[in-house]
Chain A
Amino acid sequence: DAGVIQSPRHEVTEMGQEVTLRCKPISGHNSLFWYRQTMMRGLELLIYFNNNVPIDDSGMPEDRFSAKMPNASFSTLKIQPSEPRDSAVYFCASSKQGASEKLFFGSGTQLSVL
């Protein structure tokens, strides 16, 4: 079975540009999570969805960040406009049901904003 699939693996963009990160969760998983990892702050939960509905977005840094899950097999995390401080590794993860279960992580997207 395929794991969580994220694209792109690497993204380099200039400040002010829109960035869209994509995630395909494991088939049959009902919960999806977006995390950001930086050296300074470690792994931070940005938002998570249950059955395509956002449950907790309190970790989303500011209005420049938005996440959608239009269906059970696809989610996007958008940053508009991007800033250098957004540079990080962004992970998508999924679980069978809910936030109490084991998470399966994608390979991450390394974002660099110049």
Chain B
Amino acid sequence: AQKITQTQPGMFVQEKEAVTLDCTYDTSDPSYGLFWYKQPSSGEMIFLIYQGSYDQQNATEGRYSLNFQKARKSANLVISASQLGDSAMYFCAMVTPLVFGKGTRLSVIA
């Protein structure tokens, strides 16, 4: 069975600093995909970034990048130049179908 582990219940980061949110996964499937979603206090789920298991390069989307280490089965999210609006819950997830981790609450401090 697929499993996603996010070990950091909460994180604090200073505005304009970079922060890494950890995610490890477990699967026996050779082909899989990893997602990160953001859930602000308003409750909606916002897609951030996707990494396929066969992708040669780490995914990047603007200030978001995914540090994909296949051998370690980790897919950490890196947010550069944190902004106050980045304060939210962040969920790592794996397909197929989409299974979510417990999430990390990120708080950005001015």
Contact = CB atoms under 8 A, between A and B. Distances in A.
A43 B44 CA distance: 13
Nearest to A95: B98
Residue with the highest number of chain A CB atoms closer than 10 Å, among B33, B91, B95: B95
Given A43-B91, A91-B45, A107-B43, A99 B98 contact: yes
Contact-residue bracket for chain A: 20 to 34
Contact-residue bracket for chain B: 10 to 19
Contact of A42 (B33, B46, B101): B101
B45 to A, nearest CB: 4
Nearest to B45: A105
Contacts of A99: 95-98
A48 B96 CA distance: 11
Contacts of B102: 42
A103 interface: yes
A105 B44 contact: yes
B2 to A, nearest CB: 11
B44 A33 contact: no
B97 A45 contact: yes
* Nearest 6 Cβ contacts at the A-B interface: A99-B97, A105-B45, A43-B100, A99-B96, A100-B95, A42-B102
Interface of B: 33, 35, 37, 43-47, 50, 91, 95-103
Given A99-B97, A100-B95, 19 more contacts: A33-B97, A43-B91, A45-B97, A45-B98, A89-B43, A93-B45, A99-B95, A100-B96, A102-B35, A102-B47, A102-B50, A105-B44, A105-B45, A105-B46, A107-B43, A107-B44, A108-B43, A108-B44, A110-B43
